[in-house]
Amino acid sequence: MSKCTIDHTQQDVLEKLAEQQQFMPKELVGNCELFLSKPLNQETLNEVFHLLKKYDLATGEERAERDNKLQQLFL
């Protein structure tokens, strides 16, 4: 995934999650909502945004990779 120079706000990330949640495992959505309820640094917000971006268009393998990366962030 390419690096983006745009900084995304916590609200941006929550809105992206809302757009993509129907395509995501329910448990992952819940974990993501809990994670996003805490203050996060800009780098983390950008990373989560880009993992969620176009999630609906990703292949099954790409989704599994994104799911894994998100779960690693939540630890």
Kindly report, residue by residue over 13-32, the tens digit of the pLDDT. Answer: 999 999 999 999 999 999 99
The overall average pLDDT reported for the chain is: 95
**What is the structure's pLDDT at 65?**
98
Structure tokens at 19: 């757009």
